[in-house]
């Protein structure tokens, strides 16, 4: 029986040869299609440009002259950008800038908490493609003393800069508002100032672990806003009804003075604090 021209050009493969080819295709194809780009300073950060105009406290109907402020924001899922609230306080205009192409788009505030010094931004135009090629960061809340983490920055030309710092301790300290204290990490390591270094993400194993609050160049000590505070802020925003962080609502003094301890009738006891005031409608009053 004669073979057709097609069968002559492409001879039939035996089942023994076909099975390895099918298996090879199953192994190779998912690996190539499922590969994802890893987070990096160039792919997981955006520049945030803000125009600030604060109020005149002597003439509340007037505002001071506009001033620019520039920082970096951490890209999150859903085209969201996390920054410190200090970056956008009293802002009249905010825009997001692509780190490599320089493309810009106006931004809006999705949520903010000045006590926690956190703000969440997003493009005004929901169809904006400025962040389509960027890689969102996941959150990490496991930073602890003796960990080595990275501080990410971006050069003017779009190149990423990574600096390693060591976590010294975890403490409770002020963030942006004097009356609010939260968990903070203290880190040691030399950082170089960049053009947009107002807000710097702190990264652990490729995930967002905090935001840099301040840096003492002389002592090379950094204060880092902790990851658990970021998580609580983002979780509270999910339902659209942001409640903020609870506070007890009291002011108190330490009972170190012997006369004060006798006045409070606690001189025969150890420790204790003296409550000086209770805020109206606070948790303590209720």
pLDDT at 206 over 90: yes
Q: Cβ neighbours of residue 164 under 8 Å, at least 6 residues apart? A: 148, 149, 150, 151, 189
The pLDDT of residue 196 is: 60
Count CB-CB contacts under 10 A for residue 47: 21
Count CB-CB contacts under 10 A for residue 105: 16
**Phi/psi of residue 8, each to 5°?**
-70, -35
Confidence of residue 6 (pLDDT cuts 50, 70, 90): very low
pLDDT at 159 over 50: yes
The pLDDT of residue 30 is: 45
The more confident residue out of 22 and 248 is 248
Q: Average model confidence (pLDDT) for the chain?
A: 84
What SS3 class is residue 278?
strand
The pLDDT of residue 27 is: 45
The pLDDT of residue 14 is: 53
- Burial status of residue 149 (CB atoms within 10 A of its CB: 0-12, 13-18, 19 or more): buried
What does the DSSP 8-state code read for residue 10? S
The more confident residue out of 71 and 10 is 71
The pLDDT of residue 10 is: 42
Element housing 31 (H / E): helix 15-34
Confidence of residue 197 (pLDDT cuts 50, 70, 90): low
Most confident range, picked from 103-112, 155-164, 186-195:
103-112
Percent pLDDT > 90 in the chain is 52
Buried b (16+ CB within 10 A) or exposed e, 223-260: bbbbbbbbebbbebbeeeeeeeeeeeeeeeeebeeeee
Rg of the chain over all Cα atoms, to the nearest angstrom = 27
| Range with the poorest average pLDDT among 66-70, 161-165, 239-243 | 239-243
Give the β-pairing of 91-97 and 80-83.
unpaired
| Range with the poorest average pLDDT among 11-25, 189-203, 207-221 | 11-25
The pLDDT of residue 233 is: 96
Q: Mean pLDDT across the stretch 115-122?
A: 94
Place of tokens 């003094």: 253
Give one word for 175, left, alpha or beta, with left for phi > 0 and alpha for psi -120 to 50. alpha
The pLDDT of residue 245 is: 84
Q: Mean pLDDT across the stretch 203-230?
A: 93
HSE-CB at 53 with a 13 A cutoff on CA atoms is: 11
Give one word for 101, left, alpha or beta, with left for phi > 0 and alpha for psi -120 to 50. alpha
What structural domains and CATH numbers belong to the chain?
41-123 (2.40.10.120), 148-237 (2.40.10.10), 247-286 (no CATH)
The more confident residue out of 237 and 261 is 237
pLDDT at 253 over 70: yes
Residue 182: closest CA among 166, 168, 171: 171
**Sheet strands (E) in 175-248:** 181-188, 200-204, 207-216, 221-226
pLDDT at 215 over 70: yes
What SS3 class is residue 228?
helix
């Amino acid at each position: 029986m004669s073979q057709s021209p097609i069968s002559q050009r492409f001879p039939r493969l035996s089942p023994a040869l076909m099975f390895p080819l099918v298996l090879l295709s199953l192994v190779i194809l998912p690996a190539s299609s499922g590969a994802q780009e890893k987070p990096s300073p160039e792919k997981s950060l955006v520049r945030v440009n803000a125009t600030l105009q604060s109020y005149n406290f002597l003439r509340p109907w007037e505002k001071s002259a506009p001033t620019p402020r520039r920082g970096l924001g951490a890209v999150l899922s859903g085209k969201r950008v996390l920054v410190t609230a200090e970056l956008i306080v009293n802002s009249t205009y905010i825009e997001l800038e692509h780190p490599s192409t320089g493309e810009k788009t106006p931004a809006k505030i999705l949520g903010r908490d000045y006590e926690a010094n956190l703000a969440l931004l997003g493009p005004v135009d929901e169809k904006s493609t400025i962040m389509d090629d960027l890689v969102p960061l996941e959150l990490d809340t496991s930073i602890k003393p003796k960990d080595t983490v990275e501080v990410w920055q971006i050069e003017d030309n779009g190149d990423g800069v990574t600096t390693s710092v060591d976590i010294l301790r975890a403490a409770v300290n002020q963030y942006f508002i004097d009356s609010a204290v939260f968990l903070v990490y203290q880190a040691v390591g030399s950082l170089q100032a960049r053009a947009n270094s107002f807000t710097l993400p702190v990264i652990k194993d490729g995930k967002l672990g905090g935001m840099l609050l301040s840096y003492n160049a002389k002592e090379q000590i950094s204060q880092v806003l902790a990851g658990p505070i970021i998580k609580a802020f983002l979780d509270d925003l999910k339902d659209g009804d942001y409640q903020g962080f609870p506070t007890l609502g009291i002011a108190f003094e330490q009972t170190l003075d012997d006369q004060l301890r006798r006045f409070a009738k606690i001189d025969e006891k150890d420790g204790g604090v003296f409550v000086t005031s209770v805020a109206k409608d606070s948790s303590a009053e209720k």
